[in-house]
Amino acid sequence: MNKAVVVFSGGQDSTTCLIQALAEFDEVHCITFDYNQRHQEEIDVAKKLAASLGATSHKIMDVGLLNELAASSLTRDNIEVSHELQENGLPNTFVPGRNILFLTLAGIFAYQLGANTVITGVCETDFSGYPDCRDDFVKAMNSALVQGMDKPLDIKTPLMWLNKAETWALADKYSKLDVVREETLTCYNGVIGSGCGDCPACTLRQRGLDDYLAEKKAVMASLDSKTA
């Protein structure tokens, strides 16, 4: 039985990864993390999408301890989401340690299920500058988990080298463009679908969609060349 665990937030990227995984694996198990984030609606969105798309199981994990330790505009209501970078060069939406924790727990979940693949929607090509979305980081985490659990594990990052337009094309390739466009939650202010239209996440998402819709054939060809 070919099994995979998808780190699933219900946003554009993780939903696209789930859609692809469902076509490639016999069993696909989702794991969603509740860290008392700013937009709690994403938990409900993730539940609905995992069920409607046909995930084998969906685990919601309470990791509120992350909220205690990591101060960010996504973990504190009194910190407004900013378009400006902080002194350290990172957006104030960066949650330090988030993907370290998420990939560790997803790896443990995969161990429990007998799955050798963990899939995450992180991307280094068209992203917000988070250090824990970079390819080098994922490879380091993969190595640590394999050594620490003495078990084969492959952390797959299908979107790592895709731009946002190509990510939209990937959803369209599986005939799920409308699902991703209308039912996912990417917005930092918790607005489903097109979002608030102002926050950095919405800006990045909309720009990618506009680029894809303007040049569908060219973007799809670029996607195919990268995934061949």
Bind-site residues for Zn(2+): 187, 196, 199, 202
Residues forming the annotated binding site?
8-18, 187, 196, 199, 202
Residue by residue, DSSP assigns 66-111 as HHHH--STTT-TTS---SSB-TTSSBTT--TTHHHHHHHHHHHHHH
Lay out the sheet containing 57-62: strands in order across: 57-62, 27-34, 3-7, 117-119, 154-156
Total length of the chain: 228
Residues forming the annotated binding site for ATP?
8-18
Q: Which helix (H) or strand (E) holds 119?
A: strand 117-119
